[in-house]
Amino acid sequence: MDALLAHVVERHGGLDRWNTASTLTARVTYDGPFWEFKGRPDFASTELVEADLHRQQVRHVDQGSGQVVEYDREADRVTVTAANGTLTEELDHPRASFDGYTLESQWSIAQAGYFRAYATWHYLVEPVLFTWPGVEAHEVEPWTENGEVWRGLSVTFPENVDTHNETQLYYFDDSGLLRRMDYQPAVNGYSPTAHYVSGHTRVDGLVVPTRRRIHIRQEDRTPDLSWTPITLDLADVHIR
């Protein structure tokens, strides 16, 4: 295992603790103008999220409408269910449905649900996900921001793990906590993104970030801080 990755995993609770945990649940509030831009203002919402820590499966329950969105990578399917249990939309092979889509393309409920599901699952399972079979991680050049130097980790994911794009960059402070992620979501026209992470809290032996702010990444790799397309805030985090 890469030395930086080993340090990071240990700082977040260690492999032994991660391997004994099965599920993470949290109340997640999503906000920002991105959702309206994609035709889904209803996705600026507070959701009860349940993520499987050992396979790419996640469930969102809207705390207002009761709508349930579930994504299962093994089945390669997204389902949308009303509060009364009626199946209202389903999408097989959701990734393929974005073929030909651009930054301006509008999304269906199932497509928005897929994006939010796979992305949130990643955020909750990182960094132990980087140790999974088929995932390649190695230290790269650091990044300096606001007088701080953050160590860089390049992570390449296999085809059986859905993510924003194949190779993503992660930056960690001296203590081993994640501070920034750089990626280009394939489903959103490969838009360059700088994703900031804070509010780390320890829950049942594992460290979980609770505040995320996602910005457009400019050509010089600095973030456009004039607006914040997406925000995520976690509360009531539980691990079992």
Q: What is the pLDDT of residues 158-209, one digit of tens each?
A: 999 999 999 999 999 999 999 999 999 999 999 999 999 999 999 999 999 9
Before 209, cis peptide (omega within 30)? Answer: no
Indicate the pTM of the whole model.
Answer: 0.97
Q: What is the pLDDT of residues 21-48, one digit of tens each?
A: 999 999 999 999 999 999 999 999 999 9
pLDDT at 113: 98
pLDDT at 69: 98
pLDDT at 150: 98
The domain in which residue 171 lies consists of 3-239
pLDDT at 162: 98
pLDDT at 174: 95
Cα separation of 27 and 62, whole Å?
10
pLDDT at 63: 98
Q: What is the pLDDT of residues 135-172, one digit of tens each?
A: 999 999 999 999 999 999 999 999 999 999 999 999 99
Q: What is the CATH number of the domain that holds 56?
A: 2.50.20.10
81 - beta bridge partners? 68, 87
Q: Are 57 and 22 in contact (CB under 8 A)?
A: no
pLDDT at 68: 98
Identify the H or E element spanning 11.
Answer: helix 3-11
pLDDT band with cut points at 50, 70 and 90 for residue 15 = very high
DSSP string, 221-239: S-B-TT--SEEEEEEEEEE
pLDDT at 220: 97
Domains: count for the chain = 1
Cα separation of 28 and 140, whole Å?
31
- Neighbour-count burial of 49, counting CB atoms closer than 10 A to its CB (0-12 exposed, 13-18 middle, 19+ buried): buried
Q: What is the pLDDT of residues 60-91, one digit of tens each?
A: 999 999 999 999 999 999 999 999 999 999 99
Give the pair of three-digit tokens for residue 40. Answer: 């889904």
Q: What percent of the chain has pLDDT over 90?
A: 100
pLDDT at 129: 98
